[in-house]
């Protein structure tokens, strides 16, 4: 029952008041999904352009990364499965979430309703949590590979890893699903997120576990990897030094006794020479992959650190809105930078990118430049049957005779 309308029929003086209150409530509801502010009137266009760039570059780069990992047999390793999962979370953000944020920046309002805002906020934090869990899984797997590769490959089979990747998504969904009621449009960053006041203390615990304890644990894991690689390098150098000194001493030993001594050392040297290149090659590849994984983790820290520090320092929201939006814009870059790191720091990814790009260019050139051949001419009509020919001849002869008869009759008359 519309009480305002009922009161308006009874008391005309109160009708205008009720209508004004109804309009005020609608305006307040619309303002809750608006982020209009004088300080961001011009800056929003930069945010729109940045959002379009992140959407296009991130979508293309992550799709290429998926194609390269799936089609290149050298990249179908156990560790790269975590990179594949990380690429999926980046693709979710760049392709499906970033366009909505760019639209909100352009119109300075959220135009997809309360339900769309809740779904957006949920998927946003699921994507972020999956990225952090994948970064942690990559760091742990790299440490296990460097420590004991045979044990890692024996225990972490491909089937178990696929199950674990699905488990990561379920953990992210289970972590931020209970915050469904608190997802709302946040005017400071002009996008949908959870309300920090409504979600307390659960949001505080989640942020501490993921962005605090999780990222610190990943950093500790990479520090242990660095110590392990450094100890291996020192052990390899100490192994090479006695070989050099032994070779020098054996070269200066005279007499027949030297015929047996140097022979034993030469046998050991031959075995070491056979094993050394393979070991050095494996260590070099392992170091390169570890550097790439650490670079991905470092870029994530750099992109999210300003946003996290600003939210901690400005818990009451006194900083200008444009400052909050700039720190949020910096987090956008993480999802589109990762594919570039893969290509720059890994030769197999780079070669796969080049191969896929060449194939795409060739297909486009073939479709655009090469015209299809013209269609063949239609076949000639079939010859008429003999009965039709005879009928035509008889009709022609009959017509000729009729004409001659008519002309002869006219001449007689």
Q: What is the pLDDT along the chain (413 residues), one digit of tens a residue?
A: 344 443 444 444 444 444 444 444 344 445 788 998 888 889 999 999 999 999 999 999 999 999 999 988 888 888 899 999 999 999 999 999 999 999 999 999 999 999 999 999 999 999 999 999 999 999 999 999 888 888 888 888 889 999 999 999 999 999 999 999 999 999 989 999 988 788 888 888 998 999 889 999 999 999 999 888 888 777 766 666 655 555 544 555 555 444 444 444 444 445 444 444 444 444 677 788 889 999 999 999 999 999 989 988 887 778 889 999 999 999 999 999 999 999 999 888 988 888 888 888 888 787 777 666 777 778 777 665 666 667 777 777 777 777 777 777 777 76
Across-strand partners of 185? Answer: 192
User: What pLDDT, on a 0 to 100 scale, did the predictor assign at position 77?
Assistant: 87
Q: Where are the beta strands (DSSP E) in 100-239?
A: 183-186, 191-194
Across-strand partners of 191? Answer: 186
User: What pLDDT, on a 0 to 100 scale, did the predictor assign at position 264?
Assistant: 46
User: What pLDDT, on a 0 to 100 scale, did the predictor assign at position 154?
Assistant: 86
Residue 182 CB contacts under 8 Å (≥ 6 apart), including other chains: 194, 195, 198, 199, 203
CB 333 within 8 A of CB 305: no
CB 141 within 8 A of CB 79: yes
Other Cβ atoms less than 10 A from the Cβ of 76: the count is: 13
Nearest residue to 335 (alpha-carbon basis) of 91, 170, 22: 91
User: What pLDDT, on a 0 to 100 scale, did the predictor assign at position 392?
Assistant: 72
Nearest residue to 131 (alpha-carbon basis) of 103, 97, 178, 179: 97
Paired tokens of 236: 């390899």
Paired tokens of 14: 């109160």
Measure CA of the first residue to CA of the last residue in the chain; give whole Å.
Answer: 106
Residue linked to tokens 């032994």: 246
68-70-72-73 Cα dihedral, nearest 10 degrees: 160
Other Cβ atoms less than 10 A from the Cβ of 162: the count is: 12
Peptide bond into 201 cis (omega under 30): yes
Q: Which long-range contacts (CB under 8 A, 24 or more apart) does 225-232 make?
A: 225/139, 225/142, 225/143, 225/146, 225/290, 225/294, 228/143, 228/146, 228/147, 229/146, 229/283, 229/286, 229/287, 229/290, 232/146, 232/283
User: What pLDDT, on a 0 to 100 scale, did the predictor assign at position 289?
Assistant: 86
Other Cβ atoms less than 10 A from the Cβ of 354: the count is: 12
- HSE value, Cβ hemisphere, 13 Å, CA-based, for 354: 8
Other Cβ atoms less than 10 A from the Cβ of 145: the count is: 21
Residue linked to tokens 């590979």: 145
Residue linked to tokens 């996290």: 308
* Phi and psi at residue 73, to the nearest 5°: -70, -30
Paired tokens of 212: 């605090």
CB 128 within 8 A of CB 209: no
């Amino acid at each position: 029952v519309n009480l305002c309308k009922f009161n308006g029929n009874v008391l005309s003086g109160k009708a205008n008041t009720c209508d004004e209150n109804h309009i005020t409530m609608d305006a307040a509801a619309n303002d809750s999904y608006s982020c209009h502010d004088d300080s961001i009137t011009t800056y929003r266009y930069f945010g729109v352009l940045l959002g379009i760039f992140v959407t296009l570059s991130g979508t293309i780069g992550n799709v290429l990364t998926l194609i390269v990992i799936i089609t290149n047999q050298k990249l179908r390793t156990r560790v790269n499965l975590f990179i594949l999962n990380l690429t999926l979370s980046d693709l979710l953000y760049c392709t499906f979430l970033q366009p909505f944020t760019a639209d909100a920046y352009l119109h300075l309002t959220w135009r997809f309703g309360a339900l769309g805002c809740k779904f957006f906020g949920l998927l946003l934090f699921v994507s972020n949590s999956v990225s952090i869990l994948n970064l942690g899984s990559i760091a742990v797997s790299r440490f296990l590979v460097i420590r004991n590769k045979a044990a890692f490959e024996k225990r972490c089979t491909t089937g178990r890893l696929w199950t674990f990747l699905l488990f990561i998504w379920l953990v992210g969904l289970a972590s931020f699903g209970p915050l469904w009621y608190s997802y709302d449009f946040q005017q400071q960053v002009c996008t949908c997120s959870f309300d920090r006041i409504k979600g307390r203390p659960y949001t505080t615990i989640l942020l501490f576990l993921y962005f605090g304890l999780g990222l610190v644990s990943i950093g500790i894991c990479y520090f242990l990897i660095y110590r392990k690689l450094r100890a291996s390098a020192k052990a390899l150098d100490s192994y090479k030094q006695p070989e050099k000194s032994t070779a020098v001493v054996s070269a200066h030993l005279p007499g027949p006794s030297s015929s047996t001594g140097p022979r034993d050392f030469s046998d050991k040297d031959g075995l070491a020479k056979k094993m050394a290149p393979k070991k050095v090659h494996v260590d070099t590849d392992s170091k390169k992959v570890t550097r790439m994984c650490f670079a991905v983790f470092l870029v994530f820290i750099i992109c999210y650190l300003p946003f996290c520090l600003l939210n901690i320092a400005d818990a009451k929201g006194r900083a200008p809105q444009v400052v909050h939006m700039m720190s949020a814009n910096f987090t956008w870059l993480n999802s589109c930078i990762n594919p570039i790191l893969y290509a720059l720091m890994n030769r197999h990814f780079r070669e796969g990118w080049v191969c896929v790009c060449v194939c795409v260019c060739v297909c486009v050139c073939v479709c655009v430049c090469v015209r299809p051949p013209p269609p063949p001419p239609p076949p000639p009509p079939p010859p008429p049957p003999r009965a039709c020919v005879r009928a035509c001849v008889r009709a022609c002869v009959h017509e000729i005779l009729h004409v001659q008869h008519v002309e002869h009759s006219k001449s007689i008359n």
